[in-house]
Amino acid sequence: MTLSPSFPADFLWGVASAGHQVEGNNVNSDTWFLEHLPGTIFSEPSGDALDHYHRYREDIALIASLGFTSYRFSLEWARIEPAEGEFSTAGLNHYKRMLETCREHGLTPVVTFHHFTSPLWLLQSGGWESSRTPELFARYCDRVMAHLGDLIGVACTLNEPNLPWLLESFGIGGEAPESRGSVPMWAAAAERLGVDASTIAPFQFCSTEAAFEVKLAAHRAATAAIKARRPELLVGWTLANTDIQFADGGEERAERARRDVNVRFLEASRGDDFVGIQTYGRTVYGPDGLAPAPAGAVLTQSGEEIYPQALEATIREAHRIAGIPVMVTENGLATEDDTQRVKFLQTAVDCVASCLADGIDVRGYIAWTAFDNFEWIFGYRPKFGLIAVDRSTQERTPKESARWLGSLAREHARQQVAQPA
């Protein structure tokens, strides 16, 4: 296997996970709360998940053994600050041990400070539309950095703050505050928390202008807090950027979606150390909304077109608009046919190589996801993992896709060692 010389020596090859999706029993989080409400839109609760909270040592060792050089994972704010102003040293020490384990195995830890889930107390106090949230999030980031910041390799503040605007296109979330009381899950949440339904604003589902301003302020406040502890640490946020295209008559809808979902978040990234790009395919708009997949297209488990070429478009768009280094922090495929995943990864890596060859500064390729895990409202059915998990036994089994991408990472490392001094 020969790699293109365009991949830089310090290019990161990795896999990703998110705390709530793999750890299990994240009982103080807003997502756990929402999963168990009457009228919930979650197809099943997360439960024990993959028990990664207790099995992280073996899991990290497995990731390293496959050849990867980085592991992206998230910290759970709800475990670190389970009640407002009460920080758990035990929770912080858990993540410190995870970071130390990554370092022991030669993995660069790419750490996400917030991956969708928040403490339940934050939801009760206005969530991601409250003007207090940026300050509270920055305080949490400062406490994390004080305890374990010297072990972090790359810092991601917020994961996919733009996702709610994309989900609106699929009819998920996006309700105006005054309409939330008519949605069973939000009404049930408000009743149990003793607040008005208009104030229920979880990170994944609120797409108001207030949410945009709060998320942007939180990102900037968190960046400042992280940099205050370690000025040299690379800090950015990660965006759910899709390749937005249009069919005849869909130009106006596509342009509006491009602006709301991609462009304004990329513009807001200017001045950051990097921007994380997370792409799964393309979104095509017609005159009446989303256009169906082309006739004869091969589809994912979610019924979407398999279109790995989208990654090149979103990297180039990020480079053009944000003008800063790019890191692919998620890219993957929901399928039970791993031969499809291998082909997808091969095309995606070629897309990255093409961008690098044109002088675009791409810092890494991190696949979603390390393990078949809990995929939010869709439950455990979608299989994105490069490593299969039998949840009845919690046995892990690497797939051919893990071996293929891991061998690419290993070959890259071997070539760097072989380079003359």
Half-sphere exposure of 134 (CA within 13 A, CB side): 15
Do 301 and 335 form a contact (C-beta atoms < 8 A)? Answer: yes
Residues in Cβ contact with 232 at an 8 Å cutoff, skipping those fewer than 6 apart: none
Do 78 and 120 form a contact (C-beta atoms < 8 A)? Answer: yes
Q: What is the largest CA-CA distance in the chain?
A: 67
Chain-centre distance of CA 293, in angstroms? Answer: 25
Chain-centre distance of CA 317, in angstroms? Answer: 19
Residue among 151, 60, 80 at smallest CA distance from 121: 80
Centre a 10 Å sphere on the Cβ of residue 379 and count the other Cβ atoms it contains.
14
Residue among 94, 363, 85, 111 at smallest CA distance from 230: 111
Do 175 and 131 form a contact (C-beta atoms < 8 A)? Answer: no
Is 191 tagged catalytic? no
The amino acid sitting at 270 is R
Centre a 10 Å sphere on the Cβ of residue 357 and count the other Cβ atoms it contains.
12
- According to DSSP, the β-strands at 387-390 and 395-398 are antiparallel
Catalytic member of 23, 76, 129, 160? 160
The residues that are catalytic are: 160
